[in-house]
Amino acid sequence: MTTEQMAELYDKYKNAVYRMAFAYCKNKADAEDIMQETFIKLFTADIRFEDSDKEKSWLLKVTVNKCKDMFRSLRYKYSLTAIPLEEASLVYETPEESEVYHAVMSLPTKYRLVIHLYYYEDYSVKEISRITGNNESAVQTQLYRARKKLKKILGKELRL
């Protein structure tokens, strides 16, 4: 893979990978580390994909796995339940944006993950299943519970 091809890939997917990692890690530094590791893996493995959809879903799968690896590490083992959201990286234009974003980020990690992939990346349950490694039934259940939790936090006026 040439440097130009790598740069093209990086520019194409950097935001998707970074945003996925941020949804998981809730802070800029870790999300950037995860993003860098993910692209290094893509470039060193030199894997080429038939289409960009497969490429993107592969990248997000690697991102999720890297996030899980990080959260298994000693650093996070004792602070799984209380990882603060790093506000400095975030910009809200309305109070509603802030409220909804905080509600999503207050969800347990597994629910945040499926909400991001389903509503932000527009992946189907089947595709999310491939990315997260959970079976479709588990993804359906996680989405179902995540929606309920969001409605509980934000009230019934939340439109999903």
Question: What residues numbered 33-52 form the site for another protein, per CB under 8 A?
Answer: 35-36, 39-40, 43-52
Could you tell me the smallest distance in angstroms from the CB atom of residue 113 to another protein? Answer: 13
Judged by CB under 8 A, which of 27, 65, 109, 140 binds another protein? 140
Interface with another protein includes 159 (CB under 8 A)?
A: yes
CB of 100: closest distance to another protein in angstroms? 4
Per-residue burial over 83-94, b = 16 or more CB atoms within 10 Å of its CB, e = otherwise: beeeeeeeeeee
Sign of CA dihedral 98, 103, 104, 109: positive
What's the closest the beta carbon of residue 160 comes to another protein, in angstroms?
Answer: 5
Q: Which two tokens stand for residue 130?
A: 């491939």
Distance CA 24, CA 77 (A): 15
Q: Of the candidates 61, 83, 100, 130, which one interacts with another protein according to CB under 8 A?
A: 100
Q: Is 141 in the site for another protein (CB under 8 A)?
A: yes
User: What residues numbered 52-91 form the site for another protein, per CB under 8 A?
Assistant: 52, 55, 72-73, 77, 89-91
Closest separation between CB of residue 10 and another protein, Å? 6
10 lies in the site for another protein, by CB under 8 A: yes
> Judged by CB under 8 A, which of 75, 106, 108, 120 binds another protein?
120
For the four alpha carbons of 33, 36, 42 and 44, in that order, the dihedral sign comes to: negative
CA 89 → CA 19, 29, 69, 158, distances in Å? Answer: 11, 10, 23, 25
Instruction: Tell me the residue type at 155.
Output: G
